[in-house]
């Protein structure tokens, strides 16, 4: 898995509503923290960060139909 690919998926999200923008901002922040964990060889932290990325992907999809496809791609790549 490449962190750059996750960042590209998130940047490509077409957030139209405020909840979708909020989800996008949270995911950008979490992927940035994930990159830091890999860079500093903090693998346990990286595992926790990956799980924290999956939470919005699984719970917010129903509430944000505009970015559901991107969230599904993100979830697939972080498994």
Q: Is the pLDDT of residue 12 over 80?
A: yes
Q: What is the pLDDT of residue 64?
A: 67
Kindly state the tokens that stand for 35: 């990159």
In sequence order, which ranges of 1-79 are alpha helices (DSSP H)?
A: 3-11, 18-39, 43-59, 68-78
Segments making up each domain of the chain, as ranges: 3-78
Structure token pair of residue 12: 């490509």
Q: Which residue has the higher pLDDT, 19 or 39?
A: 39
User: Would you state the pLDDT for residue 73?
Assistant: 75
The model's pTM is 0.72
Question: In degrees, to the nearest 5, what angle opens at C-alpha 70 toward C-alphas 54 and 14?
Answer: 125
Nearest of 49, 51, 28 to residue 40 by alpha carbon: 49
Mind listing the pLDDT tens digit for each residue in 26-70? 889 999 999 999 999 999 998 898 888 887 777 766 666 667 777
How many Å apart are CA 36 and CA 63, to the nearest integer? 30
């Amino acid at each position: 898995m490449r962190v750059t690919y996750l960042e590209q998926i998130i940047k490509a999200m077409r957030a139209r509503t405020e909840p979708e923008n909020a989800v996008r901002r949270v995911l950008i922040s979490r992927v940035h923290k994930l990159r830091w964990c890999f860079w500093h060889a903090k693998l346990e932290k990286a595992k926790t960060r990956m799980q924290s990325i999956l939470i919005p992907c699984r719970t917010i999809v129903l509430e944000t139909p505009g970015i559901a496809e991107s969230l599904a791609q993100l979830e697939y790549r972080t498994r």
